């Protein structure tokens, strides 16, 4: 059974939350492209887990926060929501911007053991010397495809062919992303040094052809954790769960299986 409702987080933010499945909990966090970019992950995990998939405030036509919140506000709000519901040992998975939110949640989860596993997929959120994050806002449709996909011709979207309501959603999503993550651009200057305090093993999955944040960026991101594994997904770009879903889901399943054995 799938249920979608609006929830109010402790800091006053509201988010549309979809829940499905039963079992150990998982939280799946989307990036700038919206919840559709992680729908396959959520559907897969819901076969064996209780999956929570929020639509971040301001995405897909949902109300945009009135005041400043930023990624830190989202991370604090989602973590507190899990804690208020008494959820423990949560597998948190984040793609791109969602990976940044997930990493921020993990560094905040000190002593509560709310988060039991952490998977970052082509995440942004840190500054890596020599590996700048591409200015996504400066790219046209072709540039987005070339930077985001291993096979850009297959995934390039012509804005002229996008229905008006969907185009409005996309424009709103970008406006919200710029507001919460545009300054400083797509990172928290303090996050990289805080990652060593994360208490759970992390898995960082990266598309080999990602030009938004390169595999070298991802490898350096992984090295900042006390315990992290870095895996490259061949023939994929910034969204390997879309270009190579089977390989991406297999990596997540293998990590989750190791996590179960560790917890047991």
Q: What is the CATH number of the domain that holds 173?
A: 3.40.50.1820
The yes-or-no verdict on residue 260 having pLDDT over 90 is no
Name the pLDDT band for 68 (thresholds 50, 70, 90): low
- What is the domain range of residue 47? 2-263
Counted domains in the chain: 1
The chain-wide mean pLDDT, for the chain, equals 94
The mean pLDDT of 31-51, rounded to a whole number, is 97
Is the peptide bond prior to 126 cis by the omega test (within 30 degrees of 0)? no
Q: Which residues contact 183 (CB under 8 A, 6 or more apart)?
A: none
The pLDDT of residue 1: 82
Q: At residue 52, what are phi and psi to the nearest 5 degrees?
A: -110, 125
The yes-or-no verdict on residue 5 having pLDDT over 80 is yes
The mean pLDDT of 58-78, rounded to a whole number, is 87
Residue 154 CB coordination number (10 Å)? 9
Per-residue pLDDT tens digits for 204-244: 999 999 999 999 999 999 999 999 999 999 999 999 999 99
Name the pLDDT band for 263 (thresholds 50, 70, 90): very low
| Cα distance between residue 195 and residue 224, in whole Å | 6
SS3 of the chain: helix, strand, coil, percent, to 5: 45, 20, 35
The mean pLDDT of 49-72, rounded to a whole number, is 89
For residue 10, give the 3-state DSSP assignment. Answer: coil
The yes-or-no verdict on residue 69 having pLDDT over 90 is no
Structure tokens at 114: 């709310």
The yes-or-no verdict on residue 264 having pLDDT over 60 is no
Per-residue pLDDT tens digits for 167-210: 888 899 999 999 999 999 999 999 999 999 999 999 999 999 99
| Cα distance between residue 53 and residue 25, in whole Å | 11
The pLDDT of residue 64: 84
The pLDDT of residue 213: 98
The yes-or-no verdict on residue 150 having pLDDT over 90 is yes
């Amino acid at each position: 059974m799938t249920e979608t409702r609006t929830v109010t987080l402790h800091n006053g933010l509201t988010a549309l939350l979809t829940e499905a499945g039963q079992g150990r909990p998982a939280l799946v966090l989307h990036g700038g492209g919206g919840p559709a970019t992680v729908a396959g992950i959520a559907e897969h995990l819901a076969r064996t887990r209780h999956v929570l998939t929020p639509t971040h405030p301001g995405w897909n036509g949902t109300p945009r926060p009135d005041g400043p919140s930023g990624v830190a506000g989202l991370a604090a709000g989602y973590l507190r929501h899990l804690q208020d519901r008494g959820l423990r040992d949560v597998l948190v998975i984040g793609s791109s911007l969602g990976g940044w939110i997930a990493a921020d949640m993990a560094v905040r989860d000190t002593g509560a053991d709310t988060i039991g596993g952490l998977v970052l997929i082509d995440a942004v959120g840190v500054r890596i010397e020599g590996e700048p994050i591409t200015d996504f806002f400066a790219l046209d449709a072709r540039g987005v495809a070339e930077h985001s996909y291993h096979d850009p011709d297959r995934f390039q979207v012509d804005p002229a062919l996008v229905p008006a309501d969907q185009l409005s959603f996309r424009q709103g999503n970008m406006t919200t992303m710029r507001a919460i993550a545009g300054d400083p651009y797509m990172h928290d200057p303090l996050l990289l040094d805080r990652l060593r305090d994360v208490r759970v093993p992390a898995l960082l999955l990266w598309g080999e052809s990602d030009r938004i944040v390169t595999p070298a960026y991802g490898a350096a991101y992984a090295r900042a954790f006390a315990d992290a594994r870095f895996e490259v997904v061949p023939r994929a770009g910034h969204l390997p769960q879309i270009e190579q879903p089977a390989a991406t889901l297999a990596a997540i399943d293998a990590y989750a299986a190791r996590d179960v054995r560790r917890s047991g």
